[in-house]
Amino acid sequence: MATVTTKLNINSSDLLSDSISISQSDSWESVTQGGIQMEKITGTTGSPTTLYVHGDWYVLSGSAEAAVKLYFKNTDTTSTDYIYIRIGAVDVAKLRGGEFMWLPWDTSSSGADDIKVWATTSGTLLEHGAFAPAGA
Amino acid sequence: MATLKAKLNLTCTDLLSDSIKSETTNTWTNITEGGIISEAIVPTTGGAAKLLYNLADFTNKPAYVYLRNTDTDSAKLIYIRTVDPAGNEDNFIRLKGGEWAWFPWGNSMSIKVFAHTTLTILEHGCFSTD
């Protein structure tokens, strides 16, 4: 089994009276499936592209081990070429060109939703990946 | 207006034949609101979930959300739910102890939270522009 390590740094020196400096590292040692790929997104708001089907990743309902981690990055250099991440009927995230996100997807319910995406400009490139433990 | 930087490093050397290494830094120079706080999450069911961030406060504002379950016990889960304008709710993130999430908010739903074990501590923040 493989180890996936992520580290997030958040910094701001001028938003508050004191500076913000957060550094969080998460190392996940039981990964057996996953990877990163680049994909042109041609889906639209009315017809989004399905990236990750919940049924393919769902196994251990209610188990802490059923987690799937998702990574997305809009690689476009134009900030107004948006890519939306949709779960169910809700656009949970809006990635401007160059922006990234990372989230542990809740796949623990058998009724959970697929991950879909759509772009405001057809052909915008999305780098994305999913990582999961054995059995998922 | 303030500057905010968020940087993600993603590495894996033993999943594929080649290693994975991705590093991305996002910088925003127009942040006007935000901060990070630590909060004990009391509700333990989705039906009783607490409103964390209200869509009405952020409509049409670029906003960035940080969430971290600070517990050291990985079994103490925190669930993050979407609430659409019609009031429909759905879990979409599950944070084990020690896990975090970062995403640019889609501005189409409010965000609620509940915990598997009451009083699990969530560190969270939302940064936005006018």
Domain ranges of chain A: 33-133
Nearest to A101 among B22, B62, B104 (CB): B104
Q: How far is B14 from chain A (nearest CA, A)?
A: 5
Q: How far is B125 from chain A (nearest CA, A)?
A: 10
Kindly indicate the confidence band of residue A136, based on its pLDDT and cuts at 50, 70 and 90: very low
Q: What is the mean pLDDT of residues A105-115?
A: 79
Q: What is the ipTM of this complex?
A: 0.94
Distance (Å, whole) CA B53 – CA B120:
18
pLDDT over 90 (residue B66): yes
Q: What is the mean pLDDT of residues B59-76?
A: 93
Distance (Å, whole) CA A114 – CA A130:
13
pLDDT at A58: 67
Q: Calculate what percentage of chain B has a pLDDT beyond 70.
A: 100
Cβ within 8 Å, pair B94-A90: no
Mark out the alpha helices in A3-121 (DSSP H runs).
54-57
Give chain A's mean pLDDT. Answer: 89
pLDDT at A124: 98
Nearest to A93 among B14, B94, B104 (CB): B104
pLDDT at A54: 83
pLDDT digits (tens, 9 = 90+) for B19-41: 999 999 999 999 999 999 999 99
Q: What is the mean pLDDT of residues B51-65?
A: 92
Nearest to A64 among B3, B12, B74 (CB): B74
B128 contact residues in A (CB cutoff 8 A): none
pLDDT at A40: 98
Please answer whether residues B41 and B121 qualify as being in contact, where contact means their C-beta atoms are separated by less than 8 angstroms.
yes
Distance (Å, whole) CA B93 – CA A73:
18
Could you give the C-alpha distances from B48 to A2, A66, B37, B41, in angstroms and in order?
37, 24, 21, 11
Cβ within 8 Å, pair B8-A89: no
Domain range A33-133, CATH architecture: Sandwich (2.60)
H/E segment holding residue B67: strand B63-69
The tokens describing A112, both together, are 């959970």
Q: How many residues does chain B have?
A: 130
- Over its C-alpha atoms, chain B yields an Rg (Å, rounded) of 16
What one-letter code names the amino acid at A4? V
Kindly indicate the confidence band of residue A32, based on its pLDDT and cuts at 50, 70 and 90: confident
Distance (Å, whole) CA A6 – CA A10:
13
The tokens describing B118, both together, are 């009451």
Nearest to A15 among B4, B102, B109 (CB): B4
Residue of chain A whose alpha carbon sits nearest to that of B18: A35
pLDDT at A113: 84
pLDDT over 90 (residue B61): no
Q: How far is B73 from chain A (nearest CA, A)?
A: 11
Please answer whether residues A97 and A39 qualify as being in contact, where contact means their C-beta atoms are separated by less than 8 angstroms.
no
Could you give the C-alpha distances from B127 to A47, A52, A111, A129, B3, in angstroms and in order?
30, 28, 31, 25, 10
H/E segment holding residue A72: strand A68-74
- Residue predicted with more confidence, A34 or A61: A34
User: pTM of the entire structure?
Assistant: 0.94
Sign of CA dihedral B54, B55, B61, B63: positive
> Domain ranges in chain B?
32-128
Cβ within 8 Å, pair A26-B100: yes
Residue B40: phi and psi, rounded to 5, are: -80, 125
Q: For the domain B32-128, what is the CATH superfamily, name and number?
A: Jelly Rolls (2.60.120.10)
Say whether residue B103 is in contact with chain A using an 8 A CB cutoff: yes
